[in-house]
Amino acid sequence: MKKLRIIVLCGGQSAEHSVSLVSARTVLSNIDPKRYCPQLVYIDRKGFWRRSRCEFLTDHVGASEKVLLANSRPTAPSEVLATADAVFPVLHGPLGEDGTVQGLLELAGLPYVGCGVLGSALGMDKEVSKRLCIHAGLPILPYTVVRHPEHAAPLARRLGLPLFVKPARMGSSVGISKVMESAELMPAVNEAFRYDDKIVLEKGVASPREIECAVLGDPWAKQGDPLELKASICGEIEANAEFYTYAAKYLDSEGAKLKVPAEIPEKTAKMVRELALKAFRVLDGYGMARADFLMDRRNGAVWFNELNTIPGFTSISMYPRLWTESGVDTPALISRLIKLALRRARAHARLKTAP
């Protein structure tokens, strides 16, 4: 059987650039060499595409970037995509996870892993996704949107403390602050506005637990289909800080403890899995996503927080770990994601483009 040429696309111009490099290393290390011929393509911080000659990234992010820049050459996206059978975007944040790259790949007529243009855009925008999920009946914490810093204080008073201040379209906890006192509000608002021109104020839970569930598959496949949509077991993140910050995720080896499976009642775990699948469908997901929830430690109440359409693929990331503990190891997970990409491309190819 002819090997499929898979472009692993990493880097990008978002604040999550470095995280992407670590995720790409995991994908390259676990892709099945008997079935796929991977090619690493690095988008540098200025947005230039570079075809890399190095096979694997180094363990250290800074060193990885130096290796990529030294062992790659600038190339046009069209030149890269012309050689691919499918693309595995491992891009986190704006200009990669938000539907922009997905739109480019749609125009190029290439199969690609993960959610489509709409699903990617909805998953990235915390405000729009919350609006849709509320309409669909999912439990969502009270929130409000801020477009100008001077509007933040009166809106925050309506929500009350504690609250979280977040860029509306960013991931990996970049730009997020927890506000416990009124004096902390404006510094948090200004920090969030560094990364987006729309921010979200969200009511905090006094004693929260962070529960996550991984989703994989075709949301419209029939029951029994090998690629039907499924939810993993649940996991829990115990952060050694006020919340699961960027530093706790990627810079501090002791920043958090991942518990898989989560130590929650089976009834609660079942509800979380059902909510994860519902949110995935409501937000037009396809292929993969990680659904994040907050659970009140005191009474067990659960709220849907957000859907990550290109979840981290690092060695410590929850998404591949949840599937490993659910019986799907990382090589099998990557192969299934590529199969899903090819299935969607075949379905799109059958559509008429003229009356």
CATH number of the domain encompassing residue 266: 3.30.470.20
Label each residue of 209-256 as H, E or C. Answer: EEEEEEEEEECCCCCCCCCECEEEEEEEEEECCCCCCHHHHHHCCCCE
Q: Where would I find the H helices in the chain?
A: 17-30, 61-70, 77-81, 100-108, 117-124, 126-135, 152-159, 185-193, 246, 266-282, 318-325, 330-349
Overall domain count for the chain: 3
Cβ atoms within 10 Å, residue 257:
10
Across residues 205-218, what is the average pLDDT? 94
pLDDT band at 172 (very low <50, low <70, confident <90, very high): low
User: For 121-134, what is the mean pLDDT?
Assistant: 97
Based on the domain organization, do 215 and 299 belong to the same domain?
yes
Asked if pLDDT for residue 331 goes beyond 60, the answer is yes
Cα–Cα distances in angstroms (integers) from residue 11 to residues 93, 136, 236, in the given order: 10, 34, 28
Q: Are residues 239 and 341 in the same domain?
A: yes
CATH code of 36's domain: 3.40.50.20
Q: Does residue 334 lie in a domain region?
A: yes
Residues listed for the chain: 355
Calculate what percentage of the chain has a pLDDT beyond 90: 81
In this predicted structure, the answer to whether residue 245 has a pLDDT above a threshold of 70 is no
The CATH code of the domain that includes 147 is 3.30.1490.20
Residue 147's nearest CA partner among 129, 161, 127 is 127
Query: pLDDT category, 314, cuts 50, 70, 90?
Result: confident
Burial of 215 (0-12, 13-18, 19+ CB in 10 A): buried
User: Residue 255: its pLDDT value, please?
Assistant: 62
Report the range of poorest mean pLDDT among 49-63, 156-170, 291-305: 49-63
Residue 322 falls inside a structural domain: yes
- 117 is a domain residue: no
Residues 6+ apart with CB under 8 A from 60: none
Which domain covers residue 339, as residue numbers?
123-138+207-349
In a domain, 354, yes or no: no
- Whether residues 211 and 246 share a domain: the answer is yes
User: Tell me, what amino acid is at 22?
Assistant: V
Average confidence score pLDDT of the chain: 92
Asked whether residue 118 is domain-assigned, the answer is no
Provide φ and ψ at 131, rounded to 5°: -60, -45
pTM to 2 decimal places: 0.92
Residue 321 and residue 274 in one domain: yes
Rounded Cα distance, 294 and 207, in Å: 10
The strand pairing partners of 258, in sequence order, are 237
159 and 232 belong to one structural domain: no
In a domain, 317, yes or no: yes
> Is 250 within a domain?
yes
Please name the residues in contact with 268: beta carbons below 8 A apart, sequence gap of 6 or more. 295, 300, 302
190: pLDDT strictly greater than 90: yes
Provide mean pLDDT across the span 289-301.
Answer: 96
Residue identified by tokens 């949509």 is 229
Residue 252, pLDDT above cutoff 80: no
User: Do 272 and 127 fall within a single domain?
Assistant: yes
Residue 178 shares a structural domain with residue 230 = no
Co-location of 275 and 310 in the same domain: yes
Q: Tell me: the pLDDT tens digits for 178-189?
A: 999 999 999 999
Residues 262 and 310 in one domain: yes
Based on the domain organization, do 49 and 172 belong to the same domain? no
Last residue of a domain, one of 173, 203, 233: 203
For CA atoms 44, 49, 55, 56, the dihedral sign is: positive
pLDDT of residue 286: 98
One domain for residues 104 and 13: yes
Give me the active site residues, please: 16, 172, 250, 290, 292, 306, 308, 312
Same domain, 105 and 52: yes
Q: Whole-angstrom Cα distance, residue 312 to residue 306?
A: 14
